[in-house]
Amino acid sequence: TTSTNTTDENGVCVVVFDKTSSTKGNATQIIYAGVASGTNPMYVSKDGGTTWSTLPAFVGTGAGLMMQRAQLTEDGKTLYVTCADGPGPHGYSKGAVLKYDVANSTWKDITPSTCKLPYCGLSIDAQNNNRVLVAGCAQFQASQFWVNAPNTDLWGDNVYLTEDGGTSWTTFFSYKNSDKMILDPNGSPWVKGSTLHWC
């Protein structure tokens, strides 16, 4: 949807339903919505969308940034969000990863310390609320190599993994040739030679 109430007219960019707030045959009561605004980026409805209120402003590295993606843990207790200083997918320079404690209505900045650039892609392990993947957006700082072309150095975005809810992160792609990440097209030859980015 588009809106003239946000500076880029991007409007609502994500909707997340809390399935713990519904029963079979009845509407979900708790719904989160994110908009392309650095002022009030996140809203919540607790009555199935009849009324809405703003969540607290983003904190730390995320202050003033727009949300990109959001995902709620299976138990509905934690909301993870990726941020950037624009709607994406390129041309921006700042970003953050945050998590929201639903019970306490507080945000925590869990941005990987090695990268404060834009983030977009986000995925939570359904079996482990502390195991989360995020992907950079238009960072182009990760060295990537394709199988059968190990000396062809391409640059793309990095993927970050936490297994402790954002306290520490590891990266999928190394900046060192001695520790290469080898990509395999795995039956999709049209992707070979490209880089992983804008995930």
The DSSP symbol for 191 reads: G
Six token digits for residue 11: 């409007």
Stated length of the chain: 199
* Residue 170 three-state SS: strand
Listed as ranges, residues in the chain with pLDDT below 70 are: 1-9, 88-91, 150-151, 174-180
- Kindly report whether the peptide bond that precedes residue 89 is cis, defined as omega within 30 degrees of 0: yes
How much is the pTM?
Answer: 0.88
Look at residue 196 in the predicted model and tell me its pLDDT. Answer: 81
The 10s digit of each residue's pLDDT in 109-145 is 999 988 888 999 999 999 999 999 999 888 887 777 7
Q: How many Å apart are CA 63 and CA 109, to the nearest integer?
A: 9
Look at residue 1 in the predicted model and tell me its pLDDT. Answer: 43
**Residue 63: CB atoms within 10 Å:** 14
Phi first, then psi, for residue 120 (nearest 5°) are -140, -75
pLDDT > 70 fraction of the chain, expressed in percent and rounded: 89
Contact 79, 100 (CB under 8 A): yes
Distance between start and end Cα atoms, the chain = 21
Look at residue 33 in the predicted model and tell me its pLDDT. Answer: 96
Alpha carbon of 71 to those of 44, 92, 100: distances in Å? 13, 22, 10
